[in-house]
Amino acid sequence: MVSVAIDGPAGAGKSTLARRLAAELGYIYVDTGAMYRAIGLYALRAGKDPKDNAAVNALLPQIELRLASIEGEQHIYLKEEDVSTAIRTEAAGMAASAVGANPAVRAFLLELQRDMAKKQDVLMDGRDIGTVVLPDATVKIFLTATPEARATRRWKEYQAKGVDTPYEEVLADVKQRDYQDTHRAAAPLKRADDAVLLDTSELDFEQSLAAMKKIIAEKVNQTIK
Ligand code: DC
């Protein structure tokens, strides 16, 4: 089985690039951030503080998280409800970052994530894929960009969706999330020693995609058209 681990901070373009690469390579795309977001959303809906580990841990046994691939797109379900869109808010992102610092939540998701990589060729993105989830991944890429470049991209996405969030607020969120994700004790965001570093601050989407294909092709030793 081939596994490609893509880690990096919020807004580096991981999921957009990974989704496209997976489609081109015929791998299954696994967006692990969506799993943390779904748990964060569940906690918010239950009226719990996502930072309160004990309160979140008490919810875990009730959480029925399911992933399904529909026409190549990953959909995520809480019980029967498709929450793929509901998890994409800034609040769900912050809640995901909070529950991501909870070791019980990480343990809850670890086996699910590893199992997926056992059964099929995967391209998995997250924060700890190359370091914890798939330490033996075929290819490891650490995708990053400056906080300003990432906030600008996110801000443009919001604008395109008609969401009028001030740039300064998006930048502050990006920085706060970076801090939380890199400073937590449980599986903090960091580059695996054997991961290839790719900084996309100065690259557009197609350039980033080309750079990633090259890294993957070199490692998997095959030419990707
Ligand atoms: O990639 P994303 O923005 O959807 O991730 C949301 C949050 O989930 C992120 O801030 C940290 C957490 N996360 C994590 O702790 N580990 C992962 N493998 C993926 C996401």
Which of 36, 67, 110, 140 has the most ligand 1 atoms within 8 A of CB, as the residue to mutate?
36
14 has binding-site annotation: yes
Please state, in angstroms and rounded to a whole number, the distance separating the CA atoms of residues 51 and 106. Answer: 14
Q: Ligand 1 centroid to 222 CA: how many Å?
A: 30
Q: Is the CB of 216 under 6 A from ligand 1?
A: no
Q: Is the CB of 40 under 6 A from ligand 1?
A: no
- The pLDDT assigned to 74 comes to 87
Give residue for tokens 């580990």: 53
* Cβ atoms of 95 and 41 closer than 8 Å: yes
- The pLDDT assigned to 222 comes to 58
CATH number reported for the structural domain that contains residue 69 in this entry: 3.40.50.300
Q: Within a 13 Å sphere around the CA of 96, how many CA atoms are in the beta-carbon half?
A: 23
Sign of the Cα torsion 157, 131, 215, 31 reads negative
Q: How many CB atoms lie within 10 A of CB 151?
A: 22
Q: Is the CB of 93 under 6 A from ligand 1?
A: yes
Sign of the Cα torsion 42, 126, 208, 20 reads negative
- The pLDDT assigned to 90 comes to 85
Pairing mode, if any, of strands 65-70 and 28-31? unpaired
How many structural domains does the chain have? 1
List per-residue pLDDT tens for the chain, 225 residues long: 899 999 999 889 998 999 999 999 999 999 999 999 999 999 999 999 999 999 999 999 999 999 998 887 889 999 999 999 999 988 999 999 999 999 999 999 999 999 999 989 999 999 999 999 999 999 999 999 999 999 999 999 889 989 899 999 999 999 998 998 899 999 999 999 999 999 999 999 999 999 999 999 999 875 454
16 has binding-site annotation: yes
